[in-house]
Structure 1
Amino acid sequence: MKILKYNINRLVALLLVVSTVVSCSEDFLNEPVPTDQVSPDVIFGSRAGADAFISGIMRNFRGQFLRDDSAGVNSIYYARTVKGNDIIQGQTWFLFDYANENREPTYRRTRFTWNYCYYMINQANNLINGALASQDLSDIDKKEVVGQGRAIRAFFYFQLAMEFQHTYTYDSTLPAPPIYLELSLEGKPMSTIDEMYQLIIEDLTYATENLGEDRLAKSYINRNAAYGILTRVYQTTHNWAGVEESARRAYGGGSPESVLSTDYDNGFNDISNIEWIWGSAQSLDQSNYYWGAPYSHADHTVLSYAGTYFNNDFVNLFSVSDIRNLFSNHYGVPADDFRHNVTSKFTFNFDSDHPIIRTAEMLLAEAEGKYHNGDQAGAHDILFALQSNRDPLAVKSTNTGEALLAEILVERRKELYAEIGVEWFDAKRYRKGITRTGNHRVLTPASLTPDDKRFILKVPQSELDANPNIDESVNQGR
């Protein structure tokens, strides 16, 4: 598997592509323009050239954009992770995210999330528009290249929508970050949440209709991965029929038992795992060094930050026989000490792969969709299929109504902890708070109320200074 990853990563070296960042942040507008440019005619003169461009984009999913806590997609997810109740972050990177106070216009979290997402959106727009203008790509190649570009663009607009405004069901007319579909050297005004989600869904619909199951490697987006992204979007908009269908298409259908593996406790850092639908593949020649959260924080057995611990109340949700119960009192401290529980779920290496979408998440999303669509029996069946795979002593649930939904959401937290910020994501889309309990270092001050302003990042000051179409008023009330 590492050999395959090495060969795929070598594609990146084939071409150097100029990227002009869409966001009006002065940090990027003042950046020197490189002279070793490769023209679009060369890049999009063949499918191999377009694939090399995509390889470069996917490399930026896992590179270091600013600092250790502001690297790539993993940093967005991990910042969400530490804002919840299940995970306790020690006094290291992500410290201010853990305290739920890293959201002011001049703070690094805000600047990183805005600028990184727009950087990736601009790369996606270059890919889409370059492929569409190509005279050399076949119609099939164009559709597949554009499909990947539109899925990438949708993925990052979705992150912006989640981070810089209330959730979709709160008020879809509220202002959202600007929308760019092509290169623009002038800043655009804010859009609305409704407009942004319309674009996201249109992009992902195109991707699911024009991509196949084949791809260069699991770090690239195929039809299954596009359906996985769409599932999360539909969960946010409460399109439950869409959730049920897209989740099933993401994992390929079939019985839940046939798509689950038994090596959950294998270090969680290998993209070849059959449950990984989409992930970021890492190789030693492009090491993620120490910015690869959660690995560099959650693994306490190697030289790393060792900064992640787990709330006793969360750990107590796991039965002794659950394969996901990988917690231990590594430091031999009393139960009220915030360091009481660490996990061996994540093995840190410089080439640890990162999961983005897994089959288990899609199964639980399908169960959630079935619940909302009135098929509680179907929801029970999927839920038990996963639970019995993880715990040989699991007993099928008899919960109904709100209790069944609560069980599904708890199972999501148990299955996906420290991966994608699932607790924060679910609380925000259901407009619920997150109350800190147990042995947290920072307890009550960091608890979140329903629709709390601290679920939202403010628009960066650098954008306000550079973009004449957005003024200071955008942050009033945030």
Structure 2
Amino acid sequence: MIKYIIKGIAVALLVGTTVSCSSDFLDDPKPKDSISPDVVFGSKEGANAFLSGILRLQRISLINDEASGLHSILFARSVKGADLIQKQIWFSNDYDYQVNISTQTRAKFSWRLPYKIIDQVNNFIVGVESSTSFSAEDKDELIGQALALRGYYYFQLAIEFGEAYLSSQSSAYPPIYTSPSTTPNPFSTKEEFFDRIVTDLEEANTRLGSNRINKSYINKSVAQAFLAQVYQYMGKWKLAQENALAAYGGNIGKVLNAEEYTNGFDSMNATEWLWALPQTPDQTVYYRSHPHAMMDHVAIAYHGTFINDNFVKLFSATDVRNLFSNFYEKPEGDWQAYVTSKFKFTFEADLPVIRYPELILIEAEAAYHLGDEKRAIELLDYLRQNRDIAAKVTTTSGESLLEAILLERRKELYGECGVEWFDAKRLLRGITRTGNHRTLISLPAEDKRFQLPIPQEELDARN
């Protein structure tokens, strides 16, 4: 096992770090293929360097521009919905629903990246637990971050490769690894898989405090945000409500800043960002940065994503999120008629993963399902009126109120995390595209295209 740990440590550290480390072991010449666990786990600084390497893996390019980092998994979900239109370039197969083949890029990458990170996390946990160099508080902080990452990436695998949690279907779920391994574990069940996710995240929540190096690291609030997303997906509304509220702190005014919405979504220092993937000039992913390189039609980039005209019509003229224009002066009905200036592309653009408005709307949806429509409307309208000074008070109730909350999720988070597709899958709904889409599609609820096939390379490794 120790050889495997050393190999994992070397890979993670050589990927690059996002923290400044001044200790001698990073300054002195060392072999390129191994680093002693005693050195790495001999200080908190060394462990943080290893953890930083794992976090950097979240932006790694494993195959191509549509298979590069966590952001490409999230953006693939975005273009599978009805609000965005993707031209025939990177992510066009996702948009056209031509990715449900076990040998294609999407299945391979969305499997490889989470398991690569999970493997490194397992090595990290073994190293921290085995070390005598850390205080109990330091171990909690380090292992808490690792468990949160593992739970989060198991959740991404569940979303991509399993049927919805509320589905009555019962297909095999991906394998579970909680320690370093070089041999495949058996496939799991839905119950086993979600038990692992919840166990990891709940333990992380108990171990973590409020401190962290920057917004790319995980503290208690981030772990609570992960739990809010998971419990929302599972339909466990009381737990979703509690964790969403705890994650944003309960003071809505403190975590919202409408003026920043037009700044280009390129800085993790923005008030509304909770967890992000940072970029630096020496570690840029170049054009492999969703959604900026696809959605920015001014910068030199791909200019690949357009906006559905029916979605554009949902925004009032006074909504700060109404950043749409007929940039190319196309005739009405042309699929290239509308673009957005929401995202500004540079090689140093940070990438948002979780923002506070999502948590506010998770709490609103949870309140609705728990029978507290007054609280649901209060939360919904606070966000709506923060974004649109002319927004009227919500007067709807029942199913119409739920639809208003789901619509607000789409309007707030479009292009960021595939919220429309995510909601359709978890709520057992379909997706029907209308308007000026390049590819019209009507996806029934629980259609097999809501989940990716197990990659053929994984199946081959078991033979």
Task: Say which is worse superposed, 121-130 or 170-179, in terms of deviation.
Answer: 170-179
Cα deviation for residue 258 of structure 1 reads: 2.8
Tell me if 1:111 matches 2:108. yes
Cα displacement string for residues 112-158 of structure 1 (whole angstroms, at most 9, x for unaligned residues): 11111100110111111211111111111111111000000011100
Structure-2 residue corresponding to 1:435:
432
Cα displacement string for residues 71-126 of structure 1 (whole angstroms, at most 9, x for unaligned residues): 01100000111111000001110010001121211001101111111001101111
Q: 1:12 to 1:154 in 2, by over 3 A?
A: farther
C-alpha distance in 2 between matches for 1:14 and 1:376? 58
The letter for the 2-side match of 1:398 is T
C-alpha distance in 2 between matches for 1:13 and 1:344? 43
Query: Is residue 172–residue 192 contact of structure 1 (8 Å, CA) maintained in 2?
Result: no
Task: Trace 1:119-138 onto structure 2 (pairs within 5 A).
Answer: 119-138=116-135
Cα deviation for residue 14 of structure 1 reads: 8.7
Partner of 1:175: helix, strand, or coil? coil
Query: Is residue 25–residue 39 contact of structure 2 (8 Å, CA) maintained in 1?
Result: no
Q: Which runs of 5+ in 1 are unaligned?
A: 1-5, 17-33, 469-478
Partner of 1:264: helix, strand, or coil? helix
Structure-1 residue corresponding to 2:268:
271
Structure-1 residue corresponding to 2:64:
67
Structure-2 residue corresponding to 1:139:
136
Q: 1:136 to 1:244 in 2, by over 3 A?
A: same
Structure-2 residue corresponding to 1:357:
354
C-alpha distance in 2 between matches for 1:245 and 1:270? 28
Q: 1:174 to 1:316 in 2, by over 3 A?
A: same
Tell me if 1:449 matches 2:444. yes
Query: Is residue 188–residue 467 contact of structure 1 (8 Å, CA) maintained in 2?
Result: no
Tell me if 1:320 matches 2:333. no
- State the superposition RMSD in angstroms: 1.7
Structure-2 residue corresponding to 1:260:
256
C-alpha distance in 1 between matches for 2:261 and 2:279? 19
Cα deviation for residue 36 of structure 1 reads: 2.4
Alignment length, in residue pairs? 443
Tell me if 1:237 matches 2:240. no
Query: Is residue 163–residue 170 contact of structure 2 (8 Å, CA) maintained in 1?
Result: no
Task: Trace 1:135-214 onto structure 2 (pairs within 5 A).
Answer: 135-171=132-168, 173-214=170-211
427, 449, 462: which one aligns with 2:457: 462
C-alpha distance in 2 between matches for 1:266 and 1:56? 29
The letter for the 2-side match of 1:232 is Q
C-alpha distance in 1 between matches for 2:24 and 2:264? 32
283, 287, 293: which one aligns with 2:284: 287
Q: 1:426 to 1:11 in 2, by over 3 A?
A: farther
The letter for the 1-side match of 2:238 is A
Cα displacement string for residues 238-288 of structure 1 (whole angstroms, at most 9, x for unaligned residues): 00001111001111122x223211211111111001110111111111112
TM-score (norm 1): 0.90
Q: 1:129 to 1:467 in 2, by over 3 A?
A: same
Q: 1:14 to 1:214 in 2, by over 3 A?
A: farther
The letter for the 1-side match of 2:205 is T
The letter for the 2-side match of 1:258 is K
The letter for the 2-side match of 1:247 is A
C-alpha distance in 2 between matches for 1:293 and 1:356? 11
212, 219, 223: which one aligns with 1:222: 219
Cα deviation for residue 11 of structure 1 reads: 4.5
Partner of 1:88: helix, strand, or coil? strand
19, 42, 46: which one aligns with 1:45: 42
Relative contact order: is structure 1 or structure 2 higher (C-alpha 8 Å, sep ≥ 6)?
A: 1
Partner of 1:309: helix, strand, or coil? strand
Cα deviation for residue 461 of structure 1 reads: 0.8
C-alpha distance in 1 between matches for 2:396 and 2:97? 33
Cα deviation for residue 330 of structure 1 reads: 0.1
C-alpha distance in 2 between matches for 1:437 and 1:457? 24
Cα deviation for residue 9 of structure 1 reads: 4.1
C-alpha distance in 1 between matches for 2:445 and 2:101? 20
The letter for the 1-side match of 2:156 is Q
Structure-2 residue corresponding to 1:378:
375
The letter for the 2-side match of 1:260 is L
Q: 1:252 to 1:398 in 2, by over 3 A?
A: same
C-alpha distance in 1 between matches for 2:24 and 2:77? 35
Cα deviation for residue 35 of structure 1 reads: 5.4
C-alpha distance in 2 between matches for 1:15 and 1:431? 52
The letter for the 1-side match of 2:250 is G
C-alpha distance in 1 between matches for 2:25 and 2:434? 51
Partner of 1:217: helix, strand, or coil? coil
Query: Is residue 17–residue 53 contact of structure 2 (8 Å, CA) maintained in 1?
Result: no
Q: Which runs of 5+ in 2 are unaligned?
A: 1-15
The letter for the 2-side match of 1:279 is A
Query: Is residue 17–residue 52 contact of structure 2 (8 Å, CA) maintained in 1?
Result: no
The letter for the 2-side match of 1:47 is K
Query: Is residue 268–residue 347 contact of structure 1 (8 Å, CA) maintained in 2?
Result: yes
TM-score (norm 2): 0.93
Query: Is residue 12–residue 53 contact of structure 1 (8 Å, CA) maintained in 2?
Result: no
Q: 1:220 to 1:365 in 2, by over 3 A?
A: same
C-alpha distance in 2 between matches for 1:7 and 1:395? 47
C-alpha distance in 1 between matches for 2:188 and 2:84? 34
Q: 1:206 to 1:318 in 2, by over 3 A?
A: same
C-alpha distance in 1 between matches for 2:272 and 2:460? 45
Structure-2 residue corresponding to 1:28:
none
Partner of 2:276: helix, strand, or coil? strand
Q: 1:382 to 1:350 in 2, by over 3 A?
A: same
Structure-1 residue corresponding to 2:3:
none
